[in-house]
Structure formats: C-alpha cells, structure tokens
C-alpha cells in the first residue's frame, strides 16, 4: 500500500479531528506528537509500531463513532440516497485510481525544465534591460511600482495591501500601449511571457519530477471526495486536474504523462455537459433540439441572438455567444461579461437582455433557483445532492456571490454527479478489459489499457459515461462523449 504525502505529513484528518472534538467530545491523538515537527520531523513509516497502531486504531474507531453519530442526520435531511449512490461507492474507485497512479517520464520533464530555465534567463535579462534596473520579476509589488510609478503608466489600481494589481489582464492592457508608452508595453509583454514559463516550470515540470514515486515511477494524486461544494472532486499533492492544455507550450507537459510498456492512454470527455444539463433543467426547446441535431451550440446561440444565419456565422460572433453561454452557467452579470469580452458594460448588458428574451426559460429557471435557495437555504442537483447557500440572504457584495453560486451549483453539481455515476459503474463495465481508470478531470476520464484493446475500452467506457444519468434521471438531452487515444496524454486528448 502506498503512503500518501498527506499521510506522511499528517494533513489528512484535521477535519476529522475537529468533528471528533465537536461531536464525540474526544481529542484524537495528534499526528504531530508522533511525527514531531520542523527539522526533526519523521515520516509515518518511522513511527514506533505501538504508537502507529494506537493512532491507526483510534482513527478507525473515531470514524465508526462519527458514522454512528451522523447516520440519523443523513436520513433526516434526505441525503441517504446521495450518500449511498454517489459518495460511499465512489470511495473504493478513488482508492484504486490513487494507487494505480499515472506514469510520468521524469527525463522529459527535466529537459523541459532546463529549456524553461534558459528561456527565463533570457527574458529576465530583457526585462531588466527595459526596466533600467534589476528587480525581482516574480514580485508583483516591485513590478507594479516600476510600471506605474517609474514608467508612468496610468490607471493603476491598488489592492487590499496597497500594491498595484499586475495580473495578466492588467499586463495585457499595458502591452497594447505601444504608441503611448512603448517601453512599458514591451516590459508588460515580456513579463507576461516570463510569467507563463515561470508557472510551467515551478508548478509543473519541477514539481511533478518531485512527485514521481521512485518505487512505482508513477505520480499518485489524492482525491478529496468532499473537496468542492458542488460535488466535484478535488485533486491534491499533486493536483492533476490542472495540468496545462490551453497553450501549445503548456500542452507539451502532457507529453510527459505516458502509458506503461505495452499500454495506451485513452481519454474520454463529456461534450458540453453543463450546457446540456442547463437545456434539460431549464427545459429550453431550441437548445434541446440543437443538441439532438448535433448543431454547434455556440453558433446556435449566436444565430438566435444576433439574427445571423448559421451558414453565415463568423468566428467573432460565435466567440461572443460562447462567452455568453459560459456566463449563463456562471450566473451571468453585465460587468463580468463586459470584462470577459472587453466591451462596454452597457453593450454586455444588452447581450444578456437579448439572450433572456430569446431564451426566457433560462431566466425563469435562474429566478426560480434563487427563490428556492432564499426559502430553503440550499439548492439541489437532479440527483438530490444538496448544496447549501448560507449567504443567499446576505446584504452587500456577498449577495451577488451567493446568488451566482446558487445558480451555478445545480448545473456544475449535476455534471459532477453524472461522472461519479459513470466512475462507480466503470469497474463492472470494464471488468473483462485489461484497463485501469487513472484520472478524473471533472468532465474527463483517463484510462490506461493494453494495446489492441483500446477500441473495446472506448466502446464500453463511452457507453457507461453516456448512459450514466439513467435510470435515476430521464434526461431530455442525450450526453455525448468524445474519445481519443495515444502514447501520452497530449496525444490522447
């Protein structure tokens, strides 16, 4: 059995300790007393066996006693079915995935780290040259002072700490000022390049090398089954749910995630699952029809909103509609859409108004969801998962956050429920296949399978994913799953 980093460092049961104190009136043995802390800290495999036994036995005992304490509550708040169908059976599935791990080629990562280091050194020299003085490029505070105080860029906004904001959106704006402030524009553009490489190196190519288990040659993440409020999983130590994919340079990191000898990686991901869920729960005829007919959903939205025939759709109009579709899922606001599309707020609000005019059922659904949350203090997914909304009746800016979260939760949560159902059925659905499920990335499952069995795996896993809502929920929209395969994750995607 593999020992996770969380176990080594004793970070896995702080939540349980608090529950034990609160509900059982019992302070469990603190892991710190066994491992020590600071320089002399040891790992769990070095703990004296008697101490380890006492600790582990108490851990199991507290778990049982907490279960006994909580079981009546499950029934009282009507989440027994959710617990028994979406939570408990997922635990062994996640355990298998964590133990399986995924093979990562450390040499590939090492070569990339070296290349990144060279590139960063060059960019750093360029940055110091433009700035006219040496400074820590990784310090947003120092960068802000140089751009806004020394180089005279206007419109700097300071955050809570009094430092100028220098996030990517700010730097991108400055980078367009070639005519007004060419030096600052070049500096901002170069820092953006440096930041991207720096991120890839520190968070991925460097950190992942450290995460390779020397015994397995594989990286073993930990999944939190209760990590996210909406029912999504969370992945930690390392997080394998945020491996780069959006940029070409970032995507190459996925080339280091490889299949074992004689094996292939297969990736299956739900296509537009959240918009499909929205089409179902809000019961929008046009959206349901578009999914039924396999029409490009963003193009359809654009066509409906802007009156452009599908045959005359342009990429720019489609891009706007896509941002609106995403915005709707997130509990759209004029401000947020304006910022995302970089258009005036009034214009963004106009888009939203037109969207709701064209799809009145969406507005009705959103209002009903918020009203439900206000009255009950929670919202629910199609599968009965409850997401609590304690701030929904708050005043001030908090109200806006709570409102948007309440709108998003049933949609994001239902998608999470569906992929959980697929994962729970997957061992049975693939029992005759030499395949292992390795990773879940919210709407994607990644498998490792014997060469020559990829087609059979894709058929079985795809069917399982596409049928995962049934029979609990009769979705009025079909679910579509796209599949890919390759020697590494970049190829498989």
Site for DNA in 205-264 (CB under 7 A): 206-207, 224, 227-230, 232, 234-239, 241-247, 250
User: Angle at CA 295, nearest 5°, toward 291 and 296?
Assistant: 105
385 binds DNA (CB under 7 A): no
335 binds DNA (CB under 7 A): yes
Given a contact cutoff of 8 angstroms between Cβ atoms, the answer to whether 367 and 345 are in contact is: no
353 CB-side CA count, 13 A: 6
Which of 130, 131, 153, 200 lies at the binding interface for DNA (CB under 7 A)?
A: 200
147 binds DNA (CB under 7 A): no
The structure tokens 């999944």 sit at 223
Do β-strands 386-388 and 378-380 pair in parallel, antiparallel, or remain unpaired?
Answer: antiparallel
196 binds DNA (CB under 7 A): yes
| Exposed/middle/buried for residue 245 (C-beta within 10 Å: 0-12, 13-18, 19+) | middle
Site string for DNA, 413-442 (x = CB under 7 A): ----------------------------xx
Pick 233 or 313: Cβ nearer DNA: 233
136 binds DNA (CB under 7 A): yes
Which letter does DSSP use for residue 104 in this model? B
What single string gives the DSSP state of each residue in 76-98? HTT-HHHIIIIITTHHHHHHHHH
Q: Which stretch binds DNA (CB under 7 A): 85-93, 117-125, 192-200, 292-300?
A: 192-200
CA distance 386 to 409: 9
Q: Which stretch binds DNA (CB under 7 A): 15-23, 25-33, 68-76, 131-139?
A: 131-139
From the CB of 272, what's the least distance to DNA, in Å?
A: 10
Bond prior to 238 in cis (omega within 30° of 0): yes
394 binds DNA (CB under 7 A): no
Pick 128 or 289: Cβ nearer DNA: 128
311 binds DNA (CB under 7 A): no
Q: Which stretch binds DNA (CB under 7 A): 33-41, 407-415, 429-437, 468-476?
A: 407-415
Pick 355 or 453: Cβ nearer DNA: 355
Residues 237, 240, 242, 246, Cα dihedral to 10°: 150
28 binds DNA (CB under 7 A): no
Do β-strands 378-380 and 444-450 pair in parallel, antiparallel, or remain unpaired?
Answer: unpaired
332 binds DNA (CB under 7 A): yes
Q: Tell me the number of residues near DNA by CB under 7 A.
A: 73
Its sign, for the CA torsion 190, 191, 194, 195, is: negative
Which of 80, 181, 333, 364 lies at the binding interface for DNA (CB under 7 A)?
A: 333
202 binds DNA (CB under 7 A): yes
From the CB of 328, what's the least distance to DNA, in Å?
A: 8
CA distance 230 to 252: 31
Q: Which stretch binds DNA (CB under 7 A): 47-55, 196-204, 293-301, 422-430?
A: 196-204
Who's near 285: CB < 8 A, 6+ residues apart? none
| CB atoms inside a 10 Å sphere around CB 12 | 17
Pick 279 or 321: Cβ nearer DNA: 321
CA distance 351 to 337: 9
Site string for DNA, 171-190 (x = CB under 7 A): x-------------------
From the CB of 216, what's the least distance to DNA, in Å?
A: 19
């Amino acid at each position: 059995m593999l020992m996770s980093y969380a176990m080594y460092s004793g970070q896995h049961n702080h939540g349980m300790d608090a529950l034990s104190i609160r509900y059982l009136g019992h302070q469990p043995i603190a892991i710190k007393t066994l491992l020590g802390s600071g320089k002399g800290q040891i790992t769990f495999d070095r703990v004296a066996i008697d101490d380890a036994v006492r600790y582990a036995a108490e851990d199991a005992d507290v778990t049982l006693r907490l279960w006994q304490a909580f079981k009546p509550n499950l029934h009282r708040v009507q989440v027994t079915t959710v617990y028994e169908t979406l939570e408990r059976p997922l635990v062994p599935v996640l355990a298998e995935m964590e133990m399986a791990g995924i093979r990562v080629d450390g040499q590939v990562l090492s070569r990339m780290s070296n290349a990144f280091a060279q590139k960063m050194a060059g960019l750093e020299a360029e940055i110091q040259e433009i700035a006219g003085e040496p400074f820590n490029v990784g310090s947003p505070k120092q960068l802000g002072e140089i751009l806004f105080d020394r180089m005279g860029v206007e419109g700097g906004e300071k955050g809570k700490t009094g430092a100028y904001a220098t996030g990517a959106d700010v730097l991108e704006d400055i980078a367009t000022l070639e005519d007004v402030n060419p030096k600052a524009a070049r500096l901002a553009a170069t820092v953006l390049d440096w930041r991207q490489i720096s991120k890839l190196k520190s968070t991925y190519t460097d950190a992942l090398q450290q995460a390779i288990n020397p015994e397995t040659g594989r990286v073993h993440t930990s999944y939190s089954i209760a990590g996210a409020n909406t029912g999504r999983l969370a992945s930690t130590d390392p997080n394998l749910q945020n491996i780069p994919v959006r940029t070409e340079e970032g995507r190459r990191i996925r080339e280091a995630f490889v299949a074992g000898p004689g094996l292939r990686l297969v990736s299956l991901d739900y296509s537009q699952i959240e918009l499909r869920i929205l089409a179902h729960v809000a019961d929008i005829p046009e959206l349901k029809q578009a999914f039924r007919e396999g029409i490009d959903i963003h193009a359809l939205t654009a066509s409906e909103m802007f009156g452009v025939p599908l045959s005359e759709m342009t990429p720019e109009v489609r891009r706007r509609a896509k941002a609106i579709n995403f915005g709707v899922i997130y509990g759209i606001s004029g401000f947020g859409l304006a910022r995302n599309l970089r258009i005036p707020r009034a214009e963004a609000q106009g888009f939203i108004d037109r969207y709701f005019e064209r799809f009145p059922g969406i507005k009705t659904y959103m209002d009903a969801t918020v009203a439900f949350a206000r009255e009950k203090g929670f919202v629910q997914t199609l599968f009965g998962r409850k997401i609590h909304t304690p701030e929904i009746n708050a005043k001030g800016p908090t109200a806006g956050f709570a409102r948007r979260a309440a709108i998003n939760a049933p949609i994001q949560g239902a998608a999470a429920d569906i992929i959980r159902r697929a994962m729970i059925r997957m061992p049975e659905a693939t029992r005759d296949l030499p395949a292992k499920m390795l990773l879940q990335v919210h709407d994607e499952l990644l498998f490792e399978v014997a060469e020559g069995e990829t087609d059979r795996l894709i058929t079985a896993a795809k069917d399982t994913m596409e049928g995962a809502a049934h029979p609990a929920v009769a979705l009025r929209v079909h679910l579509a799953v796209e599949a890919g395969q390759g020697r590494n994750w970049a190829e498989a995607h």
